[in-house]
């Protein structure tokens, strides 16, 4: 796979999609999913998260052949670790954790950015974990534009991975609390994703 530098997107979520569910495309028909994947992988930047989640759904049904061809035709690989990373995040941030362990004023967000630039032994993609008082979409735009950007993100940043953080937010606004939740997210992903970058508080 040849890595590319993509345009800066608007990084909006797909309306109505439950990113927190392990199978967000469970109610979509095969033909619709396959056609959607073809469109998502040809966008600039490509919607790799959506395309991978849809491909995983088709794989679970045994109807993924045509969808896999769409990735190959675009010269892209699906995010091989996305499903396992989602399971790890949901296990770490259970309903009890999200309702009981948030303290203080909630007004910040944690986020995960998909980063390209890696080779096949590292699964082609990595993830950058951060926290911000801004919206994750806006912070992702800043990373891509080089504004207080994480290493490699202006060139290799692709998109926010909403399925790995959206349901966690909001988190405490105070810096210490925010960084604690950022660290928890980082530590949940590190055993799954070969390359995870970003600051950790502890």
CA distances from 34 to 63, 73, 108, 113, 152 (A): 9, 13, 36, 25, 31
Query: In the prediction, which pLDDT does 99 show?
Result: 87
Neighbours of 12 (CB within 10 A): 9
Query: In the prediction, which pLDDT does 33 show?
Result: 97
For residue 69 the two structure tokens come to: 């061809």
What's the whole-model pTM score?
Answer: 0.95
Which of 32-41, 81-90, 173-182 shows the lowest mean pLDDT across its residues? 173-182
Average confidence (pLDDT) over 193-200: 90
For residue 12 the two structure tokens come to: 């909006």
The three-state secondary structure class of 126 is: strand
């Amino acid at each position: 796979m040849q890595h590319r530098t993509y345009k800066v997107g608007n990084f909006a979520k797909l309306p109505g999609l439950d990113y927190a569910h392990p199978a967000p495309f469970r109610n979509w028909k095969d033909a619709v999913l396959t056609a959607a994947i073809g469109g998502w992988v040809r966008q600039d930047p490509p919607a790799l998260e959506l395309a991978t989640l849809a491909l995983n759904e088709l794989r679970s049904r045994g109807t993924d052949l045509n969808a896999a061809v769409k990735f190959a035709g675009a010269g892209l690989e699906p995010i091989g670790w996305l499903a396992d990373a989602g399971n790890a995040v949901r296990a770490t941030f259970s309903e009890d954790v999200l309702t009981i362990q948030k303290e203080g004023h909630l007004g910040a967000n944690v986020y995960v950015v998909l980063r390209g630039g890696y080779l096949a032994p590292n699964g082609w993609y990595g993830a950058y974990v951060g926290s911000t008082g801004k919206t994750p979409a806006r912070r992702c735009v800043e990373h891509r534009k080089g504004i207080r950007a994480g290493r490699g993100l202006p060139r290799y940043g692709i998109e926010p991975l909403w399925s790995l953080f959206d349901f966690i937010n909001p988190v405490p606004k105070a810096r210490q609390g925010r960084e604690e939740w950022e660290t928890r997210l980082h530590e949940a992903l590190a055993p799954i994703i070969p390359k995870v970058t970003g600051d950790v508080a502890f």
